[in-house]
Chain A
Amino acid sequence: MLRMQGFTYRHARSWPEALALWSSSPDARYVAGGTDLLPNVKHGLFRPSVLVGLGGIPGGVREADGAVVIGAMTRLDELAADPVVRSVLPPLAAAAGVVAGPQLRAMATVGGNVMLDTRCLYYNQTEFWRGALGHCLKAEGTWCHVVGGPKTCVATQSSDTVPVLLALDARLRVLGSGGMRELPLRELYRFNGMDHLSLAPGELLTEIVVPAPGPGFRGAYEKVRTRDSIDFPLLGVAVCGRWDGRNPLTLEIVVGAASPQPKPLRGLEPFLGAPLDDVAISTIADLVHKQTRPQGSVAGDVVWRRQMAAVTTGRVLRALAAG
C-alpha cells in the first residue's frame, strides 16, 4: 500500500484557528476533504510536516443580499442536494453532483474543488514513476512532457464546479494574515500549472459568494468523461445566462479541464437579445472551438477534446434555447 509518513495532524475548529496553526509551521498544508491532497501526499508530491485539518469547520449554504453564500467546507454531496442551490443555481448543483463518485462527494468540499491542485498525466503519479520519467517541470524536474519544453507547465484545472462558478461570476472570501478580503473567482487562476492560484501563502478560502442570477436564468453543466463516475472531466462545459424565450439576455460559457486557467468565452455580445437559432449556435460552437486549446495533460485525444468542447456547447445551447 502507498503509505504516508512524516507529518503531524492538527485539527482546526475555526478559520482563525486554522490560520494560526498554519502560521506556526513553515511547511504546513491545509486539508479539507483530503480527496485531492492525500493522493498527492501519498505520491510524494508534497511533504508537509503538519497537516491542518479543516474538517471541524462547518460549511453550509445561505442566502444573503441577493447572493447565495456557500461555506467553503460544504461537502459536494450537500451542495448537490441543497434546496437553495438546486432552485437558484441548478447548474452548480448538477456540477457538484457529477464530481468523481459518491464517496468522494461525501468527503470533498466545494472549497477544495475550487482550490484543487492542477492535474497532469505526468504529475499525478507515484514517486517511482516520476523518477522513471525523469520528473517534470511541476515537480522536481525541468521539462514539461506535455508541451515538450522547459518553460510552461500546462497542468490542468480539472474542477467540475469551477466552470459553473466562473460562468456565474462568483466571488471568493479569503482569509489571510491581513484579514478577510474578497476576490472575483475570475482573478483566481493563472495560466501556470505550477502556480495557478493568485493567493498569498496560507490564505484560506472561507466562502463563495454567488450573485443570484435573476429572472429568466437558465444554465447547464455538461461533463465529458470516459466513465459515468469516478473520473475527472476530460472536458467540462458550463453555460449560464438569462433568457427571454429563445433570446439570451446574458450569456456566459466556460470550458473546464482544458488548461490551468479556465475562463469565460469571449465574443458572445453579438448573440445577446436575438433568437439563438441554429446558425447562431453553430457560430458560437465555432468560437468555442477556436478559443479552446485542450492540453494533453488530461487523458483523451486533444483534437477530439477540442471538437467535444464545440459539440457539447452546441448541444447545451440548443437545449437551453428551447427552454
Chain B
Amino acid sequence: MKSLVSLRVNGEDLELAVPEAWTLLEALRYGAGLTGTKQGCDKGDCGACTVLVDGKPVLSCLTLAHAVRGEITTIEGLASPAGPDPVQRAFDVTGALQCGFCQPGMILSAKALLAHSPDPTDAEMREALSGNLCRCTGYTKIFEAVRLAARGVDRHVPVRYGTPAPGFDVIGARGRKADAIHKATGEAVYTDDLALPRMAHGKILRSPHAHARLLAVDTRAAEAMPGVFAVVTGADLPTPYCIIPWTPDETALAVGKVRYIGEGVAAVAAVDEETANRALAAIRVSYEPLPIVKDAEAAIAPGAPLVHELDWKGRPWPDNVCKDVDLRFGDVEAGFAAADAVVEDRWFYEGSTHAAIEPHCAVAQWSADERLTVWSASQVTHYLHRELAKVLGIGAERVRVIQPVLGGAFGGKSEPFDLEFCVAALSKKAGRPVKILYTREEVFYAHRGRHPMDMAFKVAGTKDGRITAVESDILIDGGAYHSFGLVTTYYSGQLLTGPVGFESYHFRSRRVYTNKPCCGPKRGHGSVQPRFAFECAVDELADRLGLDPIEMRRKNLVSAGERTVNGQLVTSSGIAACLDAVEAASGWKDRRGKLGRGRGLGVATSMYISGTAYPIYPNEMPQSGVLLRADRSGKITVFCGANDIGQGSDGMLAYVVAEETGVSPDDITVVSGDTELTPVDLGSYSSRVTFMAGIAAQEAGAAMGQKLREAVAATWKVEIGRVGKGYGFFFDQEDRSRQLSAREALILAEAAAGTPLSAAGGYRTRKVGGDYRGGTIGASPAYSATAHVCEVSVDPETGIVRVEKVWAAHDCGRALNPQIVEGQIEGSVYMGYAEALMEAHTFDERGLHSGPNLLDYRIPTSKETPEILAHIVESMDPGGPYGAKEAGEGPLHPIIPAIANAIADAVGVRLRRIPFTPDRVLAAIRAQGRS
C-alpha cells in the first residue's frame, strides 16, 4: 500500500508517495529519481546502495523508506555549486573509477571515514571500505584516492595531468578518465537509471528444471491479470542465434526443451515489477523432466543423455561434444624422447563468473514509425544489433542499439541475452517501452563465465632447461549452449605457446554440453585455465631439473620477430624485461626458498592477444571505425562504436585524437556504443579496443591534424612542414614565437574547407595466423606479455593462504595512459587472485547453482585483497597505435599459477585444483606429512 513518507535528503525535504514495502533504495531511485544510488545485489551483500544517514554509511536496500528518521545524504548531495566534493575529485584524479557502478557507495563510505578520521591508517581505510565491493580496480587506486582526499586535492585537474612520453604531447601522460567525474557525482546514466514515459517493467519466468521437455506453456491467466500488458514465450521468438554465427543453438526463450535451471521460458511486461512477478506465478508450464548431464565427465560417459538431440540444421547430435579440436605442431614424440624430465598430471580449473556489480538491464522502445531502440548494458552493441534484427525478423536499419554507461562486464555482457530480445518483443506487443533488470540471481544464470576445465598436461624438458614437448588433453564443461564455445575450445590450446615457448606441441580440447548455465568468455577467455596447468607444470619441471623457475622460463622465451610453435607471429615482446622487473622487485634471488616454512614466492608468465585477427562474421569491412567532427567552438567530437565498459576506451579515443590534432583532451567529447550515431566497432572483447579502435582514431586524428596544419600553413603562407604541433597550439618551427591556438586552427580549417570539418579512420583486418584449419583463431596482430611474482603466507595448521604481495609486470607496448594501464593490471590481478582462492561457480546433482548471490559467491573485499604493485613494460609494437598493445586481460593469467607455485615454495605442496580453499590446502599439507 502506498503512503506518504517524508524524507530529508541532501538538505531537502521530500514527500513521496511510495509503498510501505519499499526500501529507501527504491524510494530514492524510483520515487525521487535520485539514480546515483546504485543497486547491485538485491539484499545487502555488495554495498553499492550505500547512503549516509546522519553521517553513517548504511545500506539503503535493507532500510525501509518508511522507517528512516534522520538526514540522508546520497551521492548527489556531496557536490556543491562550487563543484564536486574533494573525495569525488580524488576518486576521479587517481583513476579509482573504472565502471563507476560501485563508486557512489564507495565514495560515501570514504567520505564518512574521512569525516571522523581525517588521516586514516591503511587498516582503518581497508576496514571502512570493506562493505563496498568493487570488481574493477582491485581497490588499489581506491586506496590512493582516499589518501589523496586526506591530503587535499586540487579542484581543477586537467584530463592530461602527467608528463607525456618523449616526443608526444598527450600520449604516455597520466590522465583522468574522460567520464570519471560523472560517475563520481552520480550523474552518469546507467541502463537502469533510464525511465521513459509509460514504461512497463518486464520479468522472465525461468525453468526450475535443469533438463526437461517443455510440453505446454499456458499464459492465459497471466495475460488476463490487471496491470499486465504483454506476455511472450519461446514461440514468439523461435529464431535460433549465437554470438558465433556458425553455431546458432539457442533461442531467446526456451523452445521445446529447457537445458538448465534458470533458462527463460516466458516473459511478462506489466505496470511494475511486483505485478510482473505475480503474473509469472500465474503462468502454467508443463515440464517432462529428463535425466541431466551434470558435468563434463558425465557428458562423455557412454549412454549419457543428450543435451541437444539435433543441431541447428536439424541433424542429430551423436553425443554431447560441441567442439573437438586436435592439433599437432612439431615432432612431439621426439620432444618427449629428448627430455630429461617429464611432468605429467591433471589440473582442474573450477568455473567462476564475472560478477560485475551492475546487473544486466535492457530497455526497448518502438517508435511510431516502427523503429526499435534498445538500450542495453552490453559490451557488444554491434553484435547485439545484428542478432536483434535476425531474431525479431526485421531489417537492421530499423534497429538502434545504445549502450548507456556500463557498470562492469569482464566478458559477461559480450553477447545477446534473453532480456534484450524479450524487452524488444514485449515492447512491441505492449505498445509501450519495457525495461527488464535482472536480479542478481538471474545474472548468475545468464553467466557465460569461466569454463570449468579438466586438464591433463605433459610437459617435457632437458637438463639445460629447454622445454621440448607439451601435450594436453582438455575437457571443457560448456554448459547448455555454444556461446563463444568454438573459440574457447581453440583458445584453450592456441594461446599457450608464448611467452614461454616450446619445441613441439599436441593439444586436444573438447568442449561438451552440460545442463548448466552456459559458459563463455570471462577476462582471459579460454586461456586462463590451461595457463594455470602449464605454468604449474613448468615450475615443477624446473624443480625436477634443479633449475630456478625464472631461469627455466628465460631459456624458452619467444622473442620479438619469432613465431610460436603453432605459427603465431610475435611482433613485439617485453617478457624478458617483465621477468627482470619482478625478479628484482621481489628480491627473488635472495628470498625464494628462504622465507621459512609457511611463506613463499612464486612466479608465472603469460601472453595475450590484442584483438583477434578476424571479425566474428567474415567480412571485408573495417573492424573499427572512427569519425571526427570539429567546429569553431574549439571542440572535437569523436564517434566510435567501441564500448566503454569501464576500461576507459572513451578516454583512450580522446587521448589519441588529442595527440593527433593538438586539441586538448579536455575539449574532446566521445560518443560511443550507439549504432545509429557511431561507426561500427565490433565491441569490447578479446582486448581489441586500444589496438584497433586506437588505430582507427589515430588515422582519423591524423587526417584532422593534417587539415589543421594545412590551414595554419596557408594562413602563415609557409610550407606545411614548418607547422609544428604543441599541446593545444600550432607553431612555426622557424619562429617559435609565431603560434596559433588549436581553436584558431579549427576556425581557419573550417573556413578553408567550406564544409563542416570531419575526418574518418578505420582499422582494417590484417592477414595473420597459421595456414591450417583453426590457425587464425588465437592469431592476433600483437601479443602482450606478463610476468608476476607473488608472495604468500600459508598457515600450516589451518591451510589458510594469504596473498601478501603481488609484483605484476606487464608489457602493454606503449602505455597510452599509464594510470589506466595500472588500473587494468591491478584489476586483473584482483580477479585472478579471487579465482585462485575463493570463487567457485558450482552446481549440485540437480544442476542447481550452489548459491547464486553475492553472499554465497564470495568476491574479495578491500580487506583481504593483496597489495598489488603494477609495473609497466613498454615493448613498442610496430603495428599498434604508438606501439600500444592490450592490458586488460593478459595480467590476469599468471596470478593463479604464481599463487600455486608460491604455495609450493611455502609449504611444499603442489595444488592442482582451484580454488585453493583452506580445507584443500590443509588436506594436502597433512597428506604430505604422511607420505
Footprint of B on A, CB under 8 Å?
1-9, 11, 31, 34-35, 38-39, 42-43, 51, 53, 55-56, 77, 100-104, 106-107, 121, 124-126, 128-129, 131-133, 226-232, 299-301, 303-304, 307-308, 311
Contacts and interface: CB of A to CB of B under 8 A. Distances in A.
B47 A42 contact: no
A35 B131 contact: no
B861 A101 contact: yes
Nearest to A308: B798
Contacts of B846: 132-133
B798 A311 contact: yes
A56 B634 CA distance: 57
B131 A100 contact: yes
Given A1-B439, A229-B130, A7 B21 contact: yes
Contacts of B332: none
B741 interface: no
B43 A38 contact: yes
Contacts of A301: 917, 919
Given A9-B64, A103-B59, A4 B21 contact: yes
Interface string B100-124: 0000000001000000000000000
A101 to B, nearest CB: 3
B861 A8 contact: no
A105 to B, nearest CB: 9
A128 B848 contact: no
B21 A5 contact: yes
6 contacts: A55-B69, A102-B57, A102-B130, A129-B849, A227-B863, A311-B798
Interface centre among B66, B109, B209, B850 (most CB of A within 10 A): B66
B66 A129 contact: no
A137 B391 CA distance: 43
A34 B63 contact: yes
B58 interface: yes
A155 B907 CA distance: 36
Interface stretch (B230-238, B482-490, B531-539, B851-859): B851-859
B428 interface: no
Contacts of B324: none
A20 to B, nearest CB: 18
A75 to B, nearest CB: 9
A34 B23 CA distance: 11
A131 B206 CA distance: 11
Nearest to B795: A311
A133 B437 CA distance: 24
Interface string B455-466: 000000000000
A51 B64 contact: yes
Contacts of A124: 855
Interface centre among B20, B21, B131 (most CB of A within 10 A): B21
B441 A128 contact: yes
B45 interface: yes
A311 B917 CA distance: 17
Contact of B861 (A39, A227, A300): A227
A102 B131 contact: yes
Chain B's interface size range is 35 or more
Interface centre among B206, B850, B861 (most CB of A within 10 A): B861
A121 B922 CA distance: 23
A126 B858 CA distance: 17
A304 B922 contact: yes
Contacts of B39: 1
Contacts of B130: 101-102, 228-230
B309 interface: no
A31 to B, nearest CB: 7
B57 A7 contact: no
Contact of B851 (A101, A121, A226): A121
Given A103-B50, A133-B846, A229-B862, 20 more contacts: A3-B273, A4-B22, A5-B274, A11-B67, A34-B64, A35-B62, A53-B64, A53-B66, A101-B130, A102-B130, A121-B856, A125-B852, A129-B441, A226-B838, A230-B855, A230-B858, A231-B855, A300-B917, A303-B919, A311-B797
Nearest to A4: B21
A125 B851 contact: yes
Contacts of B376: none
B629 to A, nearest CB: 39
A229 B42 contact: no
A229 B863 contact: yes
A3 B44 contact: no
Nearest to B21: A4
Given A38-B43, A102-B128, A9 B66 contact: yes
A101 B918 contact: no
A11 B131 contact: no
B761 interface: no
Contact of A9 (B67, B855, B856): B67
B452 interface: no
A9 to B, nearest CB: 4
Nearest to A77: B56
B127 interface: yes
B64 A228 contact: no
A8 B1 contact: yes
A228 B129 CA distance: 12
A125 B208 CA distance: 14
Given A1-B439, A128-B208, A227-B864, A107 B128 contact: no
Nearest to A119: B855
A228 B67 contact: no
A307 to B, nearest CB: 7
Contacts of A34: 62-64, 67
A186 to B, nearest CB: 29
B799 interface: yes
B42 A1 contact: yes
Nearest to B280: A128
B441 A9 contact: no
A49 to B, nearest CB: 10
Given A227-B838, A230-B131, A38 B206 contact: no
B191 to A, nearest CB: 13
A230 B45 contact: yes
Interface centre among A2, A107, A126 (most CB of B within 10 A): A2
B860 interface: yes
Given A1-B42, A5-B19, A103 B206 contact: no
Contacts of B918: 304
A107 B208 contact: no
Interface in B703-741: none
A31 B43 CA distance: 15
A304 B208 CA distance: 32
B745 interface: no
A131 B287 CA distance: 14
A2 B439 contact: yes
A125 B109 CA distance: 28
A47 B1 CA distance: 15
Chain A to chain B: the 7 pairs with minimum beta-carbon distance, closest first: A101-B131, A229-B130, A304-B919, A228-B863, A301-B919, A132-B208, A2-B42
A11 B851 contact: no
B277 interface: yes
Contacts of B208: 128, 131-132
Interface string B890-930: 00000000000000000000000000011100110000000
Contacts of B873: none
B34 interface: no
B820 interface: no
B261 interface: yes
A259 to B, nearest CB: 19
Contacts of B67: 9, 11, 31, 34, 53, 55
A299 to B, nearest CB: 7
A107 B23 CA distance: 14
A39 B62 contact: yes
Contacts of B20: 7-9
B127 A229 contact: yes
A123 to B, nearest CB: 11
B924 to A, nearest CB: 12
Contacts of A299: 851, 856
Contacts of A6: 21
